[in-house]
Each structure stands twice: as structure tokens, then as C-alpha cells.
Structure 1
Amino acid sequence: MRLAHDYGRVRVTPRLLGHILPFLLAVLLAPPALADEQAKAAQRLKALQTEITRVQERLESARGKQGKLERELRRIEGEIGRGSRELRDIDAQLARTQARLDGLRATRRDQLDALAEQRDLLARQVRAAYAGGRQAQIKLLLNQEDPAAVGRVLAYYEFLQTARLERIDAVESTLTDLRRTEAEIDQQTQALEAARKTQQQRQDALLAGKQERGEVLAKLRAEILSSDQRLTSLREDEEQLKALLAKLARVLEDIPNDGVMRPFTTLKGRLPWPADGQIKARFGEERGHTGASLRWQGVLITAPEGRQVRAISHGRVAFADWMRGFGLLVIVDHGDGYMSLYGYNQSLYASVGDWVEPGQVIGAAGRSGGHDTAGVYFEIRHQGKPVNPAQWCSQSVAAQTN
């Protein structure tokens, strides 16, 4: 006896099931182990991030007054970043609450219209009953000679009475719904007012934080007077980033991907830029007035503070924290030794260990790291070495040179 099942156009036989079953079992049994391995890897990445923070703190302590100011800058910009993220969440909450409130008000209008209609119909029925006079049903019955007509009259009056009761029930039900809607409108209005109050408090705190940042930044720049000091500082920042990427590479070697990640090399020339804006500094150009000894390792895209910064491709967040020279920095691992870096952020919306999708918002453009120009500093690296982002990102999407 041959058994077969049709699922759409596919005819599944026991023989076919025998081939498919081992594969299905492998798929079903693999995810828990994979998830466990990924969770452990996320813990290792977080531990590494904590270690990097401690290293930064030791370096700040060794730099004396300059290091103290850098530590203060890191604290302030971290608070600004968290405040911006909270403000973004509050804005989203406000939008949801306002939409809910608008929906409730529309429901209330519909309920009031329905109530008016139901009251009008009930009033008509009452007037019709009154016009018939008292005991109209008995009078009509006494005037009927045909027994069949008597039955029809009784059925008619029973129908009228039922319809009248149904109208009364409908009015009472609508009134109950209306009272419930009114109560929820009051509740949502209070929630909206509370969220707006919190929003204003966060905005005031952000403004104060930015003013404090400006004061600390002025003192820090007073400590770095010469171009030689500036060059030394930039070189130290680059070496610190190299050390971080090397440590990340060692941790990421043991991290399995989620099975969705496409080979990064297949995306060359077709990747989007992380933010809309203007390219102020290009890969390989001289950085500041430091001479040929120091050049840009990525591109600087100018953009208004708060503009969305998006992941260029699928990957896993390997680092999301403040780093001297780069400010609030996100590093996304794309596999096969490729990473993308997003610096100068005002706020970070992704955490270490998160899987991100192409185009997912991971930060907001800013000027963290002590920079004057708002935007996002963007790099692509392979095996720790910088590559030209213009060769990877689509020219049709690239911002125009300033």
C-alpha cells in the first residue's frame, strides 16, 4: 500500500520523508546549541568591552590633567547619549499614545452617532405606541373576527415589544461603551501629559549636558596646544583602535553566525552609506595639518545631530561604547574578517551581541569624542586593515563632496 500526501504541488511520499527527516532533525536539534554558543560569545564581547573601558581609564589616569578632562568628556557624552536614547523612546511613546488617543476619540464620535440614532429610533417606537392609545393590543384583538388574524396581531405586537426592548438594550450598551471610552481617553490624556513633561525634562538635561561638554572641551583643547601634541593624540587613538580590533578578532573567531549572513565580499559596490549627508573627509586624505604621516582611515559624513545612522549590512554588534577620538562608537562584525565602524554618534541604539539587519538604525549622528563637526565617522576594515568605503558603497547613494 503506497501512502502519499499532496501539499500544494509537492507530493510527499514515505520515501521522500525518509530523505527529509534526518535534515529536519538536524535543524531542530541545532538551534539550542547554536543559541548557547552565541550567548557565550555575547558574554565574551561584553567582558572585552568592560576590559577596554578599564584600559581607557588607566590611560586617562596616566595622562594627568588631560586624562582627567578626557574622562569627564567621556562621562558627559555618555550621559548625553543615554539621554538622547531615552528621549527617542519617549518620542515613540508619545506618538503611540497620541495615535491611541486619536483612535479613542474617533470611537467616541462613532458611539455618540450610534447613540443618537438609537435614541431616535426608540423615540419613534414610543411615539407610535402612544399614538395607538392605551391597551391598543386588546382593542385590535377584540375587533378581529378571524382567528388567523388574531394570531398575526399577537405576533406583530410581540415583534414590536421585542424590537423596543432591543433598542433599549442597545442604548444602554452604547452608553456603557461610551463611559468606558471616556475613562480610557482620560487615562491616555494623563499618560500623554506625563510623557510630555518627562520629554521636557530630558530635553533640559540634554541642553545642560551639552553646555557642560562645551566647557570641558574648551579646557581639554587648552591642554593640547601644539600640532605635535595633536598628532601624538591622533596616533594614540589609532593604535588604541587597532588594539581593540585585534582583540575583537580573537573573540569573534569562535562566534558562529546566525545562518543568515551573506558573504560580505558579494556586496562590494552595492552597500548603502550609513547616513545621508555630505562627505567632508575622504579615505586616504591628509588628516588636519598633520602631513602625510597621518591620513583618514575612513570617511567623515557631515549630518545634523540626531540623524539616523544605519547598519550597512547584516552582522553582529561587537562593540558599542565610548572611545577616545571616536566618541560613541559602534563596530559591527560582518564575518570573514570584515567589520564596519560608526563613530561620533550622539547616541547608540544597539548593544553588544545584537544581530542587526541591513538598514537598521544603530545610532544617531553627533559630535561625540570632542568633535566640532556633527555627523558620522565611517570605516570598513578587513582583518583589521582599513579599506576605502567608496569602493564598497554604491555611488548612487553616496553623499556629494562638500
Structure 2
Amino acid sequence: MRLFINTYLVSNLTRYTVIISLVLLSLLFTATAPAQQSDGNADAQLQSRAKLSDVQKAIAKQESNIFDTNKQRSSLEQQLKTDDLAIANVTKAINNIEAELSITQSKIVDLAVEKKQLNLSKERQEQLLAKQLRSAYTTGQHDYLKLLLNQDQSEKIQRTISYYQYINKARIKEIESFQATIAQLLQVSTEHQTQIANLQQLKDEQLQKDNQLRISKAQRSNTLQKLSRQLLSSQQQLNKLKAEEENLNQALNKLAAIIQAEIDLTGLSKLQNKLSWPVKGKTLHRFGTRKQGYLTWKGVLISAPISRQVQTIHNGTVLFSDWLKGYGLLTVIDHGNGYMSLYAHNQTLLKSVGERVETGEPIALIGQSGGLEQPGLYFEIRHRGKALNPKLWCR
């Protein structure tokens, strides 16, 4: 597509070069026609030819400058893609770390509660064992061997022996339970310390990723500044937007050609004014309004805070999840029966091609990839390639 733009500009410039040259030649012949009838026009002809040569050199230099500018811009756009992808990877890693942090913190809380309960159980068991030991000590004055050898009052002796056996069994059971509690408490305490160490490691990793994110954002900002210094004319801007839109259309047409319809994907035809917007925010550009020249917005641009979750409007399958020139990090969802929704300029993409997504499921995080001036989401709904007004579907 860049080749198309470069060829277009160069071909236009070549056309203008030919026209200017013809005009200059015409002026040259017109100015020199009377001079040919006189012997003093040789110098005028030489001057005219010299001027024509200077103009042609200036045009050639301008052609070279435009070619170099387009080449440099193409390189910067590739660098912008690299910067956007670097930010996306770091942001996704941070998002995963935050999820792990939440799980780890929850485990630590649960283990702390379990540890507290085990300590209470341990204390109760210690008190019970102490009570049993005191009871055994107070009855220890009865010599068990003497009772066995004493033949008097055999029935009383039998009851006493049975009582001792019962007490011993209860004591053994309590001791075994106490040992199990101690072992479980040790295990929980070890796991608790492990999770605390894991939490600290995750925090350190998150800090490292935050630093990487700042570096990547600074690099992206530098790239955008270089791009902004290369001012485009209105016609060049129109051609750029037209090329990007055509690039999107070609990508969507290719996706439509490989879609394998799923039985349970019924499209959006019966869901007008029933769907939720993918993100809450102020609408910066509405469907159908003027974009540049004769181009109009095929969707809506919604302003939203960076890193806010982008949610799919309906269940479907991820058809595209990658960076696309002019749209940055883009996700396209197939909803069945020729209906698609697309979400552009994300900071990071949370779903991969082929994954099934459900209504309201997070699929990306708000960003400003692709050169967007401020954080936001570009959102479209299409049916068999035709852009539809999202306002008729989302409420």
C-alpha cells in the first residue's frame, strides 16, 4: 500500500513536470519566434534554455525529496508498529502479573485465616492434653500393678482398668490429632511464606515491566514527533487515509472469504438497540460524519482512559488480532451471518485468532496505537463488508 501511495505521488508529480515543461517550452517558442527573424536573439535563446534547464533540475530535486520523504515516513511507520507492539507485549505482561498478584494475595489471606484457625485448634488441644495429664497425675497414686495383683474386689478393679484403658485411648487419640494439627500448621505456614515470597517476586517483576513500559512509551512518543514533523498536504492526507481504509477493506474481505460459519453464531440482525457499547466514553467522531475530503467515518471513535477494558458486544470468534497500518492493534470478531465488529487503536490485545469470546468479555485494553493522538477506541460494525451505524445496535 505504501508503494501505491509513492507511485501515485510520483506519477502525479511526473504529470505536473510534463505540463510545466510544455508550458515553458511554449513560452520559449513564443518569446523566441520574433527573435529568430533578427540576428540579435541568440543570447535570449540561450538564457531561456538555461532557465528551462534550471526548472527541470528543480523539479527533479523535488521528486527526489518527495521520494526520500516517503521512504523516511515508511520507515517511521514501521518503527511506530514496533513501538506499539512493544507496548502491547509489556502491557499484556503487566495485566497477567496483576491477575497473578490478585490470586496470590487471595491465597495469602486464606492461608492466614487457616493458620489462625489451626493455632486456635492447637491451643484447645494443648489445654485438653494438659487437663488429661493433670487427671492422670491425680489418679496416679493408684498403682496399676497393685490393682492387677489385688484379688479383692475384682469387679471394682475390672471397672477401674476399663476406665484407665478408655482414658489412655482418648489421650492417644488427642495426641495423634495434636500431631496432625502441628503438621498441618507447619505445612500452611510454609505455604504462607512461599506465597509471600512469590508476591514480592511478582511486585519486583511488575516494577521492571513498568520501567520497560515507560521506555517503550517514550520511544513511541519520539517516533510520533518525527512523524508529525513531516507535514502532509490535504491531498496527501486524503490519499493516506484512503489507502489505509482500502487496506482495511482488503483485510476484511480476505477474512470474510475464510470464515467457517458456526451453527451457534446467529449474527446481529435481531439485536438492534439491544447491545452494550464496547467501552464507556465520549464519542469524538460519529458514524457518517466527514473525515477528510470525501471520506466519512465508517464507525465511531470513542475517547476512554488508557488501559480500560474493551468488551466484545456479542459472542463470536476472533478473526483478526494484530497490528494494521492506520488502525494500530486491531481485533475483529465474527458474529455469524456476515456480521463483524472491529476494535482498533488498542494498547494490547487479550485474545488470539480462533478464540471464542462471549458477550461482554474483555478482548483488549484501551490505547492509542497506530498514531492516535489521544487514548480511545475506534469501533465498527459491518455486514457483508458494508459499514453499519453502531448507534442502531448499541444503546
TM-score calculated relative to the size of structure 2: 0.80
Q: Which has the larger radius of gyration?
A: 2
In the alignment, which residue of structure 2 is the partner of 1:281? Answer: 285
In the alignment, which residue of structure 1 is the partner of 2:210? Answer: 203
CA RMSD of aligned residues (A): 2.2
In the alignment, which residue of structure 1 is the partner of 2:112? Answer: 105
- Letter of the structure 2 residue corresponding to residue 77 of structure 1: D
Out of 116, 127, 148, the position equivalent to 1:120 is 127
Is residue 366–residue 376 contact of structure 1 (8 Å, CA) maintained in 2? yes
Deviations for 1:208-242, whole angstroms, at most 9, x for unmatched residues? Answer: 11111100001011113433332221111111111
In the alignment, which residue of structure 2 is the partner of 1:132? Answer: 139
**Cα distance in structure 1, aligned partners of 2:310 and 2:134:** 68
In the alignment, which residue of structure 1 is the partner of 2:364? Answer: 363
Does residue 335 of structure 2 align to residue 334 of structure 1?
A: yes
The 3 A distance-change label for structure 1 pair 198 and 110 is same
The 3 A distance-change label for structure 1 pair 314 and 283 is same
Out of 76, 85, 95, the position equivalent to 2:83 is 76
Is residue 60–residue 71 contact of structure 1 (8 Å, CA) maintained in 2? no
Query: What number of residue pairs does the alignment pair up?
Result: 334
**Cα distance in structure 2, aligned partners of 1:107 and 1:139:** 48
Does residue 275 of structure 2 align to residue 268 of structure 1?
A: no
**Cα distance in structure 1, aligned partners of 2:102 and 2:74:** 42
Does residue 95 of structure 2 align to residue 88 of structure 1?
A: yes
**Cα distance in structure 2, aligned partners of 1:250 and 1:263:** 17
Deviations for 1:14-60, whole angstroms, at most 9, x for unmatched residues? Answer: xxxxxxxxxxxxxxxxxxxxxxxxxxxxxxxxxxxxxxxxx779989
The 3 A distance-change label for structure 1 pair 136 and 229 is farther
The 3 A distance-change label for structure 1 pair 84 and 236 is same
**Cα distance in structure 2, aligned partners of 1:135 and 1:212:** 88
RCO greater where, 1 or 2, for CA within 8 Å and sep 6 or more?
Answer: 1
**Cα distance in structure 1, aligned partners of 2:6 and 2:135:** 90
Is residue 57–residue 71 contact of structure 1 (8 Å, CA) maintained in 2? no
Deviations for 1:178-197, whole angstroms, at most 9, x for unmatched residues? Answer: 11112212221221111111
**Cα distance in structure 2, aligned partners of 1:153 and 1:122:** 21
In the alignment, which residue of structure 2 is the partner of 1:300? Answer: 301
**Cα distance in structure 1, aligned partners of 2:171 and 2:163:** 12
Per-residue deviation, 1:393: 1.0
- Letter of the structure 1 residue corresponding to residue 364 of structure 2: G
Out of 168, 171, 186, the position equivalent to 2:175 is 168
**Cα distance in structure 1, aligned partners of 2:101 and 2:155:** 66
In the alignment, which residue of structure 1 is the partner of 2:42? Answer: none
Is residue 316–residue 334 contact of structure 1 (8 Å, CA) maintained in 2? yes
Is residue 312–residue 357 contact of structure 2 (8 Å, CA) maintained in 1? yes
Is residue 328–residue 346 contact of structure 2 (8 Å, CA) maintained in 1? yes
Does residue 395 of structure 2 align to residue 391 of structure 1?
A: no
- Letter of the structure 1 residue corresponding to residue 278 of structure 2: P
**Cα distance in structure 2, aligned partners of 1:151 and 1:297:** 97
Is residue 224–residue 230 contact of structure 1 (8 Å, CA) maintained in 2? no
In the alignment, which residue of structure 2 is the partner of 1:177? Answer: 184
**Cα distance in structure 2, aligned partners of 1:317 and 1:221:** 33
**Cα distance in structure 2, aligned partners of 1:393 and 1:343:** 17
Q: How does 1:190-269 map to 2 (within 5 A)?
A: 190-252=197-259, 255-257=260-262, 259-269=263-273
- Letter of the structure 1 residue corresponding to residue 347 of structure 2: Q
Per-residue deviation, 1:133: 3.2
Moved more, 177-186 or 60-69: 60-69
TM-score calculated relative to the size of structure 1: 0.78
Deviations for 1:253-307, whole angstroms, at most 9, x for unmatched residues? Answer: xx131x32124211122111111112121101122xx34x122111111110111
**Cα distance in structure 1, aligned partners of 2:231 and 2:353:** 33
**Cα distance in structure 1, aligned partners of 2:172 and 2:181:** 14
Deviations for 1:301-360, whole angstroms, at most 9, x for unmatched residues? Answer: 111011110111121111111111111001111122211010010100111111211111
